[in-house]
């Protein structure tokens, strides 16, 4: 039976497994690291790619109403003036007067008092801190709240006087709005339609943390779905269900996903309605994905600032021109991967060789998402088994992600494949030389089935597609 874990223990075990098995490494580790930066190892990078591939296939390749783009990270700074980020993309910061650790004032107040202070001014936050005599987590006095820009600045041009200040984009959405006219001019797409993008974004977070949950650099999967204003409510509900269905499809435990209607006074400056999809992470229930109704805010602002028409002309009624409204499903790759790790992590009590029990750690990824889908394991390192095992790898590579593993006892190799989430292990033994068959072990049931080599590809293909 699966073993129940305390949240803190579970998070520690996931972080340890990620480092030990090559999912996630601390960034710049040999130089002491850089706080809240992470590098994805061989298994993590493949898992991350699988998530993005599934999202792109589901929402772009398999739909005729959505097209994709891939835009620059660096954009004209006027983009961020028009979008409102230069003016509004700020967070309230307080600092421990002794340790100089920094905290988001609104988050700190909410954690310490349970009071929701979203939308409060700096003066109001300062008054709450003073009235309740709030201290830092280390018990020290705090500085008064001040604004802290969430955007990373850099410069373009040769170093020296007059360099242009530009920003690392804090979201991928604006590139979609800026390219709205280009997409209309080069496709025959009609309302309602979407433009999708997967890309990096950067936020100068005050208090990043919780492993890969909140980092300085992250990746987003976003769609801006353009429609006429009267259609937004029905489409909003449809998109809410669509997001959850995709999450379930890739292996997110939907029982731990909750919809939170964001209060009107806590909405982002561009939003008329937002639903956050929260997930029960080991460190608490936090935002996983977002769904926002952005009205026509972005296209109208960019139209006004750029002096370029960003209208949609109805092909059947040329006189009908509208600035479309927008629904935005926004999903973070890194948070999705962390939710997937949490959903997949399982501990089971299994019999050991001495008549007792042992704990088996299994990452129960759905087969399509698993970094490796099949492991080929020769029972020994003798040449007469290595050669047919290598031939099996060549046979299976066109239809699956395959790992060859010949090191250690077969039991230890099974356990390693369980920990990295490989759905099927194929063992080549000395009987294989006689009966031309192999043993296929199922990760989840641990059942072993003898399968003729000539039937192996079809046997695995059927199960990997399930």
Q: Which residues pair with 201 in a beta bridge?
A: 218
Amino acid 266: pLDDT: 83
Going by C-beta distance under 8 Å and a sequence separation of 6 or more, which residues neighbour residue 353?
Answer: none
Residue 148 and residue 262: Cα distance in Å, rounded?
Answer: 23
- For residue 48, which of 330, 333, 279, 249 has the smallest C-alpha distance? 333
For domain 372-464, give the CATH number: 3.40.50.800
Question: Rounded to an integer, what distance in angstroms lies between the CA atom of residue 440 and that of residue 425?
Answer: 6
* 155-168 as b/e: b if 16+ CB within 10 A: eeeeeeeeeeebbb
Q: How far is CA 269 from CA 5, 187, 213, 224, 266, in A?
A: 40, 31, 23, 17, 9
Chain-centroid distance of CA 276 in Å reads 14
Residue 463, pLDDT above cutoff 50:
yes
Q: Which residue has the higher pLDDT, 6 or 321?
A: 321
The Cα-based distances of 457 to 116, 178, 444 in angstroms read 56, 47, 20
Q: Using pLDDT thresholds of 50, 70 and 90, give the confidence band for residue 158.
A: low
Beta strands at 152-156 and 164-168: parallel, antiparallel or unpaired: antiparallel
The whole-number average pLDDT for the span 113-124 is: 80
- The 10s digit of each residue's pLDDT in 330-351 is 999 999 999 999 999 999 988 7
**What is the longest distance spanned by two Cα atoms in the chain?**
82
Q: Please confirm whether the linkage preceding 192 is cis (ω < 30° from 0).
A: yes
Task: Identify the band that residue 207 occupies on the pLDDT scale cut at 50, 70 and 90.
Answer: low
Within this chain, domains 90-149 and 372-464 share the same CATH topology: no
Is residue 221 over pLDDT 80? yes
pLDDT higher than threshold 90 for residue 60? yes
- Domains of the chain by residue range: 7-74+169-342, 90-149, 372-464
Question: d(Cα 442, Cα 447) in Å, to the nearest integer?
Answer: 6
Please name every residue paired with 166 in a beta bridge, in sequence order, or none if there are none.
154
Q: Are 285 and 260 in contact (CB under 8 A)?
A: no
- Residue entry with tokens 């003898």: 450
Q: Look at residue 67 in the predicted model and tell me its pLDDT.
A: 98
Radius of gyration of the chain (CA): 26
Tokens 């003016």, residue located: 87
CA dist 350 and 354 (Å) reads 12
CATH class as words, domain 7-74+169-342: alpha beta
Which residues, in sequence order, are CB contacts of 347 under 8 Å at separation 6+? 2, 3, 5, 359, 360, 361, 362
Mean pLDDT, the chain, whole residue set = 91
Q: Write a three-state SS string for the chain.
A: CECCCCHHHHHHHHHHHHHHHCCEEECCHHHCCCCCCEEECHHHHHHHHHHHHHHHHHHHHCCCCEEECCCCCECCHHHHHHCCHHHHCEEEEEEECCCCCEEEHHHHHHHHHCCCCCCCCHHHHHHHHHHCCCCCCCCCCECCCEEEECCEEEEECCCCCCCEEEEECCCCHHHHHHCHHHHHHHCCCCCCEEEEEEEEEECCCCCCECCCCECCEEEEEEEEEEECHHHHHHHHHHHHHHHHHHHHHHCCCHHHEEEEECCHHHCCCCCCEEEEEEEEECCEEEEEEEEEEEECHHHHHHHHHHCCCCCEECCCCCCCEECCEEEEEEEEHHHHHHHHHHHHEEEEEEECCCCCEEEEEEECCCCCCCCCCEEEEECCCCHHHHHHHHHHHHHHCCCCCEEECCCCCHHHHHHHHHHHCCCEEEEECCCHHHHCEEEEEECCCCCEEEEEHHHHHHHHHHHHCC
> Cβ distance 376 to 426 under 8 Å?
yes
What are the CA-CA distances from residue 264 to residues 118, 129, 148, 221, 275 (Å)?
Answer: 10, 24, 23, 25, 11
> Average pLDDT of 405-417?
93
Q: What are phi and psi of 34, to 5 degrees?
A: -130, 125
**For position 163, what pLDDT does the model report?**
66
The bridge status of strand 345-351 relative to strand 357-363 is: antiparallel
At 3, the pLDDT band (50, 70, 90 cuts) reads very low
The stretch 392-398 carries a mean pLDDT of 96
Tokens 């008329």 label which residue?
A: 272
Bigger pLDDT: 239 or 105? 239
Topology of 90-149 in CATH?
Answer: Herpes Virus-1 (3.30.40)
Report the pLDDT averaged over residues 34-41. 91
Q: Residues 389, 406: contact at Cβ < 8 Å?
A: yes
For residue 7, the model assigns a pLDDT of: 65
- Which of 314-323, 341-350, 406-415 shows the lowest mean pLDDT across its residues? 314-323
This prediction's pTM: 0.88
Nearest-10 crossing angle of helices 42-56, 232-250: 140
């Amino acid at each position: 039976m699966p073993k129940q874990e305390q949240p803190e223990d579970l998070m520690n075990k996931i972080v340890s497994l990620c480092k030990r098995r090559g999912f996630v490494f601390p960034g710049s580790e040999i130089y002491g690291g850089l706080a809240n930066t992470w590098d994805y190892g061989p298994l993590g990078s493949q898992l991350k790619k699988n998530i993005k591939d599934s999202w792109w296939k589901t929402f772009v390749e398999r739909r005729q109403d959505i097209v994709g783009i891939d835009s620059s990270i660096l954009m004209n700074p006027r983009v961020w003036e028009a979008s409102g980020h230069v003016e509004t993309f700020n967070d309230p910061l307080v600092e421990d007067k002794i340790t100089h650790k920094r905290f988001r004032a609104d988050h700190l107040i909410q954690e310490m008092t349970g009071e929701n202070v979203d939308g409060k001014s700096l003066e109001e936050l300062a008054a709450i801190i003073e009235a309740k005599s709030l201290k830092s987590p280390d018990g020290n006095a705090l500085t008064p709240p001040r604004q802290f820009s969430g955007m990373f600045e850099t410069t373009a041009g040769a170093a020296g006087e007059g360099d242009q200040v530009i920003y690392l984009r804090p979201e991928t959405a604006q590139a979609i709005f800026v390219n709205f006219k280009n997409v209309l001019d080069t496709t025959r797409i009609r309302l309602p339609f979407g433009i999708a993008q997967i890309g990096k974004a950067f936020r100068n977070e005050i208090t990043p943390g919780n492993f890969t949950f909140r980092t300085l650099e992250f990746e987003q999967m976003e769609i801006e779905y353009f429609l006429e204003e009267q259609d937004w409510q029905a489409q909003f509900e449809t998109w809410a269900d669509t997001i959850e269905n995709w999450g379930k499809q890739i292996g997110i435990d939907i029982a731990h996903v909750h919809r939170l209607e964001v209060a009107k006074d806590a909405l982002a400056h561009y939003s008329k309605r937002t639903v956050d999809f929260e997930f029960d992470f080991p460190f608490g229930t936090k935002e996983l994905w977002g769904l926002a109704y952005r009205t026509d805010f972005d296209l109208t602002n960019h139209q006004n600032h750029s002096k370029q028409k960003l209208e949609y002309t109805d092909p059947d009624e040329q006189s009908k021109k509208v600035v479309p409204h927008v629904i935005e499903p926004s999903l973070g790759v890194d948070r999705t991967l962390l939710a997937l790790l949490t959903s997949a992590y399982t501990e089971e009590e299994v019999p050991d060789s001495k008549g007792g029990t042992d704990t088996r750690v299994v990452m129960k990824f759905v087969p399509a998402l698993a970094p490796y889908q099949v492991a080929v394991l020769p029972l020994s390192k003798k040449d007469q088994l290595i050669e047919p095992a290598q031939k099996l790898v060549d046979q299976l590579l066109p239809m699956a992600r395959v790992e060859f593993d010949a090191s250690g006892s077969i039991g230890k190799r099974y356990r390693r494949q369980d920990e990295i989430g490989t759905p099927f292990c194929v063992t080549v033994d000395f009987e294989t030389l006689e009966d031309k068959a192999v043993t296929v072990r199922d990760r989840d049931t641990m059942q072993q089935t003898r399968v003729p080599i000539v039937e192996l590809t079809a046997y695995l293909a059927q199960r990997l597609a399930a």
